[in-house]
Amino acid sequence: MRWRSSGLSLFLLLSIFVLKSATELRICAYNVQKFDSAKASNERLMHYLKLVLTRCDISLLQHVVDPDGRAIEKLLSVLNRYEEYDYEAVASESLGNSPDDKQKYVFIYRMQTVNVTGQYQYRSQQSFVREPFVVRFQSKNASIGEFILVPLHSEPSKAVQEINKLYDVFVEVSKKWNNTNVMFLGDFHASCAYVKRSDRKNIRLFMKSEFSWLIRNREDTTVTDATSCAYDRIVVHGEPFLRAIKPFSAKVFDLGAEFKMSRSEVVQLSDHYPVEVVLKSSALFLQATPLLSLISASVILWSFLSAL
């Protein structure tokens, strides 16, 4: 009986090791619609925002109106209370042409699964109202290893021009860091009246085949019934990055359905839904081994240990 107990313990430990080694990496983007100190003081909204963000290894927040950093500080306090992971943030300065509409890009990330290896504020006010704040991440969990995230919360009236200019950002940062594993994400306003089908020919990220749009044109990333538009997008460059994406994982996350929230509660948090994508695990053994073979090996191992 003692041998059988020891065998069961060993089997469980091996199973836990295998599951841990199979960890994937989830990247999310969410326009939190004027996230400021007032919104950060609403405990109910912060509870739901915590539920959204703790699903993700990296979350890009847009429309953060937080000049003194206190709202994000409060958010981190909520995220790090009684959680399995430790969360940290890296944020841009307040960006925008109008003193009344200064916004930050903020990346919230799990310290146990990703590292920030570089950050860069793109500078070109002629191209963007809120210039991308570019961050380079590294993760031992993701099969692609090191990658670059380029955020954009476009000015709606300039959406076509700003999305097109993302190509210039790509050229600059991929050269700067000698890395073409680049993902663009955020509220591009890339749909409906702001970006029509006829406008796509003027957007290099649409026209160049090496860029893959993971959130499709027919998706609805808006909450209200008044709109049905694919404003929020995720775009990756290159075949290596595309191969690192878990198939069919790019999607709009319906937090209302997931967390049993009323429509009014969802809208209070934001009039946008988050979008997300999952990167494959770096566990090469699990990627290369068919599931049936893995199960068979587990059964054989358990049978052997049971016979001891």
Rounded to 10°, the helix 43-53/70-79 angle is: 70
pLDDT-based confidence at residue 114 (cuts at 50, 70, 90):
very high
Average pLDDT score over residue span 214-228: 96
**Extended strands (E) in the chain:** 25-35, 58-64, 87-91, 104-110, 115-121, 133-138, 146-151, 182-187, 211-213, 232-237, 251-252, 275-279
Average pLDDT, the chain: 89
What confidence score (pLDDT) does residue 153 get? 98
151-160 pLDDT tens trace: 999 999 999 9
What confidence score (pLDDT) does residue 162 get? 98
pLDDT-based confidence at residue 301 (cuts at 50, 70, 90):
very low
Q: Which domains does the chain have, with CATH numbers?
A: 1-22+290-308 (no CATH), 27-282 (3.60.10.10)
pLDDT-based confidence at residue 305 (cuts at 50, 70, 90):
very low
Dist. CA 52–CA 164, nearest whole Å? 30
DSSP-derived secondary structure for 268-292: HH-SB--EEEEEPBS-HHHHHS-HH
What confidence score (pLDDT) does residue 294 get? 46
Residue 119 pLDDT greater than 70, yes or no: yes
125-146 pLDDT tens trace: 789 999 999 999 999 988 998 9
CB burial of 9-45 (b: ≥16 within 10 Å; e: otherwise) equals: eebeeeeeeeeeebbbbbbbbbbbbebeeebbeeeeb
Q: What is the reported pTM?
A: 0.86
Average pLDDT score over residue span 10-18: 44
Higher per-residue pLDDT: 15 or 256: 256
What are the C-alpha distances in Å from 172 to residues 8, 50, 94, 127, 198? 54, 34, 22, 14, 27
Question: Which residues does 93 contact at the CB level (< 8 Å), separation at least 6?
Answer: 104, 121
pLDDT-based confidence at residue 21 (cuts at 50, 70, 90):
very low
259-281 pLDDT tens trace: 999 999 999 999 999 999 999 99
Dist. CA 123–CA 186, nearest whole Å? 18
Question: Which residues does 41 contact at the CB level (< 8 Å), separation at least 6?
Answer: 74
What confidence score (pLDDT) does residue 306 get? 52
Residue 164 pLDDT greater than 70, yes or no: yes
Average pLDDT score over residue span 182-209: 98
Reduced to 3 states (helix: H, G, I; strand: E, B; else coil), residue 138 is strand
